[in-house]
Amino acid sequence: MNDIGIGAIGLGRLGYVHALNIARTPSAKLIAVCDVQEELARQTAREFRCAYYTDVRKMLENNEIDAVCVATPTAYHVEPVTAVAEAKKPLFCEKPLADNLADTLHLAQVIKEAGILCQMGFQRRFDPPVAQAAQMIREGDIGKPTYITSFSRDPFPPPPWACDPNKGGGLFFDMLIHDFDLARFLMQDEMISIYGDETNLVVESEGIERFADNVTVSFRFKNGALGTAHASMHASYGYDVRGEVYGERGNLIIGGLHRTELTLCSPAKGITNPTTFHPQGKLPHFMIRFKEAYELEMNAFVDCVIHNTATAVNEDDAVQAFKIALAATQSADEKRPMTIE
């Protein structure tokens, strides 16, 4: 089969990373890039020697494009995702699918009705220590998982839209949504209730009406397992993403401060570092910390398109993670635990 031709929409922080990875993915070819900022689109196209567009639908007329990557700000996913579904092209879409529940449910339906493959940008599932932890849990290394915890701490605030819950941002929707997806993935169960809380203690709100620089959640799974998570945007020492899955016969510690590692604690095997990933001299930001995960998720997407196989994380996962983030936000508003559908 010929290489899969891909068009990349949105060339900001993450869109550029995806364009780069598409260009480097075996069996894929970056055919075109698209951004409403014409100069950015032109420059990026020059770098990757591909076509450029400022209009999504015009780009989709390019018949060398077999599949599309959408990395516009969350509040601007509806138009490109709808256009991609109408064009019946496989879709890679950044998380969250949309900035509100109605649009999230609508887009999931549009994707299903179009019958297209959809992979969501929950790259942490592809992070090597996470993928290995998931396998070890499946193989029973820690017995029944009973508790999960995670930290997602940015060294500084993301762009203003990503701090604003009214634009698809804020720490519940933009950041902890990764932790919610991972909790479902690693615990192999659905959350049924969540308690969320938020505060603003360090970072200037810059006029954003509802602004939090620290949030926490405490949640419960259907099978009775428990979890907590914390997100922040002022980790003065660097990007800090770690977690643990604690079970009846051990503990998996995912991530470390100086390198990204996976540690197993169990009576049978003692405390082991089965693998150490990416030794790093300092704490990296997300593009470095998840560099390999972003590459692996794009490889996986291309593989699914070539073989027409189901993606590992799809629109249904996007809907579920969004519902959890929404329940956490409502809980923080109402100061009481919320049930998750």
Candidates 19, 20, 40, 326: give the one binding ligand NAD (CB under 6 A).
40
Structure tokens at 16: 């550029």
Candidates 8, 83, 94, 172: give the one binding ligand NAD (CB under 6 A).
94
Q: How far is the CB of 280 from ligand NAD (least distance, A)?
A: 17
Question: Does 9 contact ligand NAD by CB under 6 A?
Answer: yes
Query: How many residues of this chain interact with ligand NAD, rule: CB under 6 A?
Result: 27
Residues 127, 61: Cα–Cα separation, whole Å = 34
Q: What is the DSSP string of 158-220?
A: --HHHH-GGGT-HIIIIIHHHHHHHHHHHHTS-EEEEEEEEE-SSS--TT-SS--SEEEEEEE
Is the peptide bond between 96 and the residue preceding it cis, with omega within 30 degrees of 0? yes
Closest to ligand NAD by CB, 85 or 142: 85
Site string for ligand NAD, 249-288 (x = CB under 6 A): -------------------------------------x--
265-147-186 Cα angle (round to 5)? 85
Asked if residue 70 lies in contact with residue 94, where contact means CB atoms within 8 angstroms, the answer is yes
Name the residue with the smallest CB distance to ligand NAD. Answer: 12
Q: Kindly indicate which of the ranges 7-15, 182-190, 300-308, 329-337 contains the residues binding ligand NAD, using the contact rule CB under 6 A.
A: 7-15
End-to-end CA distance of the chain: 42
Quote the longest CA-to-CA distance of the chain: 60
Candidates 4, 6, 8, 11: give the one binding ligand NAD (CB under 6 A).
11
Candidates 42, 73, 274, 288: give the one binding ligand NAD (CB under 6 A).
73
Residues 207, 172: Cα–Cα separation, whole Å = 19
3-state secondary structure of 44: helix
Nearest to 35 by CA among 64, 72, 82: 72
Q: Kindly indicate which of the ranges 20-28, 31-39, 232-240, 310-318 contains the residues binding ligand NAD, using the contact rule CB under 6 A.
A: 31-39
Candidates 21, 123, 260, 314: give the one binding ligand NAD (CB under 6 A).
123
Question: Does 36 contact ligand NAD by CB under 6 A?
Answer: yes
By the criterion CB under 6 A, which residues form the site for ligand NAD? 9-15, 34-37, 40, 56, 71-74, 76, 79, 94-95, 121, 123, 159, 162, 174, 286
